[in-house]
């Protein structure tokens, strides 16, 4: 389900009753006081209704189609293997009318370490409660990337909430997870960037948080994702060592081998230190992220869980074992959707995502005159770098088109001065999203102007390369520096699955997936450790999605693209010319604030105490088997828990 539900509470206004003339000693007549009271109440109700009709209205989000921006009905748990918070969509447990179904959620995959976790008894919460401003579209045009409530064109009495991505008279295309718009006059397609980089920063999805490592696997020899590395002079992959699960120093990815030189890991602090301020050679030392992703099979092999039959709901991709860890491409995996119940769900993601953001804390204790800090993000044949000189605070954005590991020519895109100057501690975030480079220092966007944006031509190879198995790097020289709280996030990946419009605008259409196996090509999930083969298979069997909009028509997409029934997938019983379009008259308002996410229970091990329980509708049958009525039976499944405290961290403005 995708529709927000109205709450019974709405903002109200009050009017102050009149009072008697203070100069008069005669008390007001009782009849007159009663009339004033009635009038005051009537005015208060009138103002409340007017405010609800024209200004703001409260809604509840029932589903996860806008996760992680807005949560629908969901569960929360702490991963038993790495300790990271797990948030899982639970709207699948209910039907559209809110009745409990038979498919209770049993288990979930951690978004960080991918370990399976039991969530059967985890507390369940209703969706975010939000305020929607119903007035802004009377004063200004709707803006791209606004989160909008509108009437679902197929069922005008039903409210939906999505992100507005398409404006009137535009032609849009979804390609490899990004949105493109045709230039006026039928020109080339150009990528659509988030209007505000800070909005982009708010809606990203976790790839890995180094503060929560998969320690049980690491203790058994699984390679750490971050490591000090150096270029292998022989430029070869030690397959024999990898196959036998050799020592950490022999692990090599895309020509980068682990080394004991340079960065030193502080495992307990989950940080890395470099002490090169007094070094004479001023050599550049690299720290790189390798996307070693444990599968459910790997975890089962380690845990040998007695609940293995239940955890088998997750299936297997057959790619990895404890003896042969292999890095893979970063994909569109979304932990919010990674659950299993009585029904079966495909939890494997297999679309490559190259738009990444690196965040880390940087603490500089000492620096030499020629010191530098370098952040690098790979995407296909391109490397994007941010080089910072801590002596002057200057930051440069650079691009390298990678053709030969031994030959690099940097292209300077932009430069400016930052506050990262001298010794001290800073939070640094570097992003390559929607063909734009962004840098934040201590939460503030560094202004590089329009030069931070770049374009990719149609003839450039847009597929992944071997370097995308280790897509992020940090290098430094001439510094005593510590990096910690390393976190990687990815951009939203919009699937290009869509309903193909028939020429007569009838409701009948054909459904096209972004990628469907064809010919003799292997499934993409089996090729994630082989970028060249992955790209060949993807190119052979993929589909882009194109959408045209007319006057006063808009297009809406959910942030949780795999679980969103949005403009891509609507029916067309109304026989509209553009089945994907939302007319201007259907717009209700702009979502602007989460005023009550959910109450966080405490006591009783953090689960509180059950107040009410879920009820399941069961048929009541006669001896002959006929159903005479349906009745609700209470289950051993808590619905509301007490006591609880407000989850203040998620009360915020909606971007």
pLDDT confidence tier of residue 331, bands split at 50, 70 and 90: very high
Share of the chain above pLDDT 90, in %: 62
pLDDT confidence tier of residue 501, bands split at 50, 70 and 90: confident
Strands of 85-89's sheet, edge to edge? 85-89, 74-78, 124-125
Share of the chain above pLDDT 70, in %: 82
pLDDT confidence tier of residue 446, bands split at 50, 70 and 90: very high
Q: Give the N- to C-terminal CA distance of the chain in Å, as an integer.
A: 22
CA–CA gap between residue 245 and residue 260 (Å, rounded): 18
Query: How much is the average pLDDT of 496-504?
Result: 85
Whole-structure pTM value: 0.87
pLDDT confidence tier of residue 100, bands split at 50, 70 and 90: confident
Q: Which residues contact 365 (CB under 8 A, 6 or more apart)?
A: 277, 423, 480, 481, 482
- pLDDT, tens only, 583-639: 999 999 999 999 999 888 999 988 899 999 888 877 776 676 666 667 778 888 888
Query: How much is the average pLDDT of 453-473?
Result: 88
CA–CA gap between residue 328 and residue 282 (Å, rounded): 33
644: pLDDT strictly greater than 50: yes
Helix (H, G, I), strand (E, B) or coil at 341: coil
pLDDT at 406: 60
More confident: 615 or 487: 487
pLDDT at 629: 63
- pLDDT, tens only, 193-217: 998 999 999 999 999 999 999 999 9
pLDDT at 234: 47
- pLDDT, tens only, 247-275: 444 689 999 999 999 999 999 999 999 99
pLDDT at 405: 58
pLDDT at 33: 59
More confident: 1 or 290: 290
DSSP output for 264-329? EEETTTTEEEEE-TT-SS---EEEEE--B---HHHHHHHH--TTHHHHGGG-------TT---B--
**Which 3-state string (H, E, C) describes 209-232?**
ECCCCCHHHHCCCCCCCEEEEEEC
Domains, the chain: 130-203+493-595 (2.10.109.10), 607-655 (no CATH)
CA–CA gap between residue 257 and residue 631 (Å, rounded): 65
Question: Residue 569 is encoded by which pair of tokens?
Answer: 């997938």
**For 304, left (φ over 0), alpha (ψ -120 to 50), or beta?**
left
Beta strands in 53-210 (DSSP E): 56-60, 74-78, 85-89, 107-109, 116-118, 124-125, 129-133, 147-151, 159-166, 171-175, 178-182, 189-191, 205-209
Give the number of other Cβ atoms within 10 Å of residue 118's Cβ.
16
pLDDT at 57: 86
More confident: 316 or 483: 483
pLDDT confidence tier of residue 316, bands split at 50, 70 and 90: very low
CA neighbor of 56 nearest in space, from 654, 598, 650: 654
User: Which of 118-127, 312-321, 492-501 is predicted least confidently?
Assistant: 312-321
User: Which of 47-51, 395-399, 641-645 is predicted least confidently?
Assistant: 47-51
- pLDDT, tens only, 116-125: 999 998 999 9
CA neighbor of 256 nearest in space, from 4, 468, 490: 468
Cα–Cα–Cα angle for 195, 197, 199, rounded to 5 degrees:
80
pLDDT confidence tier of residue 320, bands split at 50, 70 and 90: very low
- pLDDT, tens only, 17-43: 333 333 333 444 444 556 666 665 665
Query: How much is the average pLDDT of 37-58?
Result: 60
pLDDT at 134: 87
537: pLDDT strictly greater than 90: yes
Question: Residue 402 is encoded by which pair of tokens?
Answer: 């990678």
302: pLDDT strictly greater than 90: no
Question: Residue 237 is encoded by which pair of tokens?
Answer: 């992959």
Query: How much is the average pLDDT of 143-166?
Result: 96
pLDDT confidence tier of residue 9, bands split at 50, 70 and 90: very low
227: pLDDT strictly greater than 50: yes
pLDDT at 220: 85
- pLDDT, tens only, 334-355: 999 988 764 444 556 899 999 9
pLDDT at 46: 53
CA neighbor of 357 nearest in space, from 370, 340, 371, 375: 375
- pLDDT, tens only, 387-417: 999 999 999 999 998 765 566 789 999 999 9
DSSP output for 41-79? HHHHHHHHHHHHHHTEEEEE--SSTTTTTS--SEEEEE-
CA–CA gap between residue 566 and residue 166 (Å, rounded): 12
pLDDT at 64: 95
Query: How much is the average pLDDT of 297-316?
Result: 55
Q: Which residues contact 231 (CB under 8 A, 6 or more apart)?
A: 255, 256, 257, 405
CA–CA gap between residue 522 and residue 529 (Å, rounded): 13
pLDDT at 529: 95
- pLDDT, tens only, 538-577: 999 999 999 999 999 999 999 999 999 999 999 999 999 9
CA neighbor of 275 nearest in space, from 369, 368, 391, 358: 368
Q: What is the mean pLDDT of the chain?
A: 84
């Amino acid at each position: 389900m995708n529709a927000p539900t109205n709450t019974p509470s709405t903002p109200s206004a009050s009017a102050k009753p009149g009072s008697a003339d203070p100069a008069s000693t005669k008390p007001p007549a009782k009849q007159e006081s009663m009339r004033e009271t009635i009038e005051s109440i009537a005015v208060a109700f009138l103002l409340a209704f007017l405010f609800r009709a024209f200004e703001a209205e409260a809604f509840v989000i029932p589903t996860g189609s806008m996760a992680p921006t807005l949560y629908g009905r969901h569960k929360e748990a702490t991963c038993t293997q790495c300790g990271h918070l797990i948030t899982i969509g639970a709207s699948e447990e209910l039907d559209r009318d809110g009745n409990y179904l038979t498919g209770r959620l049993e288990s979930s995959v951690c978004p960080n370490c991918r370990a399976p976790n039991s969530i059967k008894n985890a507390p369940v919460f209703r969706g975010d409660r939000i305020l929607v401003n119903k007035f802004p579209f009377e004063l200004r045009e709707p803006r791209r990337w606004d989160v909008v409530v509108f009437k679902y064109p197929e069922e005008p009495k039903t409210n939906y909430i999505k992100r507005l991505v398409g404006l009137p008279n535009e032609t849009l295309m979804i390609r490899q997870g990004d949105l493109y718009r045709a230039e006026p006059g039928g020109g080339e397609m150009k990528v659509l960037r988030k209007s505000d980089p800070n909005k982009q920063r708010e809606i990203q999805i976790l790839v890995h948080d180094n503060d929560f490592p998969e320690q049980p696997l690491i203790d058994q020899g699984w390679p750490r994702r971050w490591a000090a590395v150096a270029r292998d002079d022989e430029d070869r992959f030690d397959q024999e060592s990898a196959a036998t699960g050799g020592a950490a120093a022999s692990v090599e990815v895309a020509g980068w081998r682990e080394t004991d030189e340079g960065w030193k890991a502080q495992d307990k602090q989950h940080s890395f230190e470099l002490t090169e301020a007094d070094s004479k050679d001023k050599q550049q030392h690299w720290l790189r992220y390798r996307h070693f992703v444990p599968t459910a099979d790997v975890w089962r092999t380690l845990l040998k869980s007695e609940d293995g039959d239940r955890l088998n709901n997750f299936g297997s991709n057959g790619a990895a074992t404890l003896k042969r860890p292999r890095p893979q491409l970063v994909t569109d995996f979304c932990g919010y959707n990674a659950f299993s119940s009585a029904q079966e769900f495909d939890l494997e993601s297999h679309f490559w995502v190259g738009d990444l953001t690196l965040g880390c804390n940087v603490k500089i204790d000492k620096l030499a005159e020629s010191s530098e800090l370098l952040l690098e993000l790979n995407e296909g044949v391109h490397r994007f770098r941010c080089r910072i000189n801590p002596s002057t605070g200057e930051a440069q954005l650079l691009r390298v088109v990678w053709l030969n590991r031994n030959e690099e020519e940097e292209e300077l895109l932009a430069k400016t001065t930052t506050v990262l100057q001298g010794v001290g501690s800073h939070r640094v975030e570097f992003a390559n999203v929607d063909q734009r480079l962004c840098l934040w220092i201590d939460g503030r966007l560094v202004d590089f102007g329009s030069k931070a944006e770049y374009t990719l031509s149609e003839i450039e190879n847009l597929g992944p390369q071997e370097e995308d198995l280790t897509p992020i790097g940090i290098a430094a020289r001439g510094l005593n520096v510590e990096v910690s709280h390393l976190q990687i996030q990815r951009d939203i990946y919009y699937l290009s699955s869509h309903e193909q419009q028939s020429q007569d605008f009838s409701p009948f259409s054909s459904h096209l997936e972004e990628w469907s196996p064809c010919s003799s090509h292997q499934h993409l999930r089996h090729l994630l450790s082989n970028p060249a083969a992955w790209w060949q298979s993807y190119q052979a069997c993929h589909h882009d999605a194109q959408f045209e909009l007319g006057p006063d028509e808009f297009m809406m997409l959910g942030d949780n693209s795999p679980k969103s029934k949005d403009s891509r997938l609507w029916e067309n019983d109304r026989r509209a010319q553009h089945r994907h379009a939302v007319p201007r008259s259907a717009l209700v308002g702009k979502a602007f604030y989460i005023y009550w996410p959910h109450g966080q229970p405490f006591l009783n091990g953090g689960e509180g105490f059950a107040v009410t329980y879920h009820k399941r509708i069961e048929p009541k049958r006669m001896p002959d088997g006929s159903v005479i009525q349906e009745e609700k039976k209470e289950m051993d499944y808590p619905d509301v828990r007490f006591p609880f405290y407000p989850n203040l961290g998620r009360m915020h403005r909606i971007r």
